[in-house]
Chain A
């Protein structure tokens, strides 16, 4: 298995991911990758302690790119990570 943990910030609604330092970040490529159930469950348990900060938290399947970075596997999670494809919004601008 290869999973990362994602959520939305409660107040802003922004899409976020958990990194290996247990910080919430906006770039999915820098998220912590869990390759065993125990680590994934621990991450979810950590998110449960932050329900006043998060809208919801869940694990998603990822692939690893050639440089070893996680990339969401499903189309929906990929669009969620990179922004809508019809407008060039702030998320895309920040990355370029």
Chain B
């Protein structure tokens, strides 16, 4: 894991002191709210509907126990004893006071963390695969490249005021768990014919009011040229991205308007002008970053037969079926800890739970944790001999929900319960759906199914890529929920299709249950997943089931 050097530490501390001064000048009345607004946003401080909200960056989701414990401490010291892990691998505190925010940032700086560039029209936190460094199918750990991009983009003077926010995701595996096709730039590790590892580049993907699947700009860029290449993309976007219309200001719209070929021509014109300059990164820097993410010594783990543990405990077996994933080393597994207990708020963890996770990571899992964009916490490297101990401790702490990838493992944005932009609530809908399928005890029978809920068109809950997506809107003062089907955020990227008119909150549950019953009744067999079933039969049978025959009220 990358550790801050003195430069990083000084940089973050200086920013804390600078912001402390800016806060004081706002309190003293030297700065107006209008003048203060961009300053607080550049430091991750929003004003939401109830209070200030601080969004803390967790680069590519990776944490160690010290950082996780500090996040727990901050939640108790300055907030209400919990934090909300987000779909961009960050954590948000919902009840921060302006008078204390500089102290929060100082506490974060103590553990090499900050909230810089978690808001505003800049390059945001670089996200990655939550199984990075552990995945069986990985070509290489994507985090050295993510860290390279983080260092390059943090405080980049030319890109502090882009036309709009800019999101980059990196994956090292062909199976995309980081939704790279739905980012402004997505990078995916590939090998060329000579066996050299480089990155395939996607641009112009995104969710929000105009969802787009990213398109391939280059099949292969060597690592030494990556910064020049990404710089060239953002350089063109910075010059020509629409600044006249906030809703048309993302790079996806520029690509729409220029066309991919012309966009590529302009990007390469700049790229070719940089190519021969001796700019960073040198191979030494890339090697340094690769070394920073060297895997732990996996050879210390013993051979261990988990099947014998499963025989002794059915609940462990059930949990293992959904929450364990094969690791690149045969004596290890990846443990996904669900923050989606049915009836609880998706992505929320109490200070006590954060400390339990920190303890487990430190004691049994090489001191490493990762926040997933699906709002769960991953222990990427767990020796098999420790699985039972970890499960028992998670169970004691209300963290052993066995539902990863299932119907109750719902992504949900904070929605109108917290967010100023929201047009409807998301959390109560997520709670209701998860609780309902838990009561019905049909979750295992339904199998893999991703439900994603956004409380407005900005799509922080990724509803466009949910197998079942739910979008909350306001219809003349009443919350109304549109359903989309068939979305997919993986390498087989699809944007979900809308079923038709939306449903009120009290009718939505029935519609979701009806949709799932169509699948359960008509699937070929249990091996045909909901998504595969949808791809085979299309929207029609679902529409018929939820709206009735054409000519009835909805048509």
Contacts and interface: CB of A to CB of B under 8 A. Distances in A.
Contacts of A67: none
A12 B97 contact: yes
A20 interface: no
Q: Which of B52, B345, B424 has the most CB of A within 10 A?
A: B52
Interface in A35-93: 51-52, 55-56, 73-76, 79-80, 83-87, 89
Contact of A51 (B33, B51, B95, B428): B33
Given A73-B477, A86-B428, A13 B345 contact: no
A55 B47 contact: yes
B418 A84 contact: yes
Interface in A1-29: 8, 10-15
Nearest to B29: A52
Given A79-B49, A79-B417, A11 B474 contact: no
A84 B50 contact: yes
Nearest to A84: B417
B290 interface: no
A14 B28 CA distance: 19
B444 interface: no
Q: Which of A10, A51, A86 has the most CB of B within 10 A?
A: A86
A42 B416 CA distance: 30
Contacts of B477: 73-75
Nearest to A77: B49
A11 B97 contact: yes
Nearest to B82: A87
Contacts of A87: 80, 345
Contacts of B345: 86-87
Would you list the 8 A-B pairs with minimal beta carbon distance, nearest first?
Answer: A13-B51, A84-B417, A52-B29, A13-B52, A11-B99, A80-B49, A86-B427, A86-B345
11 contacts: A8-B47, A11-B99, A74-B477, A75-B477, A76-B416, A79-B49, A79-B425, A84-B427, A85-B417, A86-B345, A86-B428
Interface of A: 8, 10-15, 51-52, 55-56, 73-76, 79-80, 83-87, 89
Interface of B: 26-29, 32-33, 47, 49-52, 80, 95-99, 345, 416-418, 420, 422, 424-425, 427-428, 431, 474, 477, 479
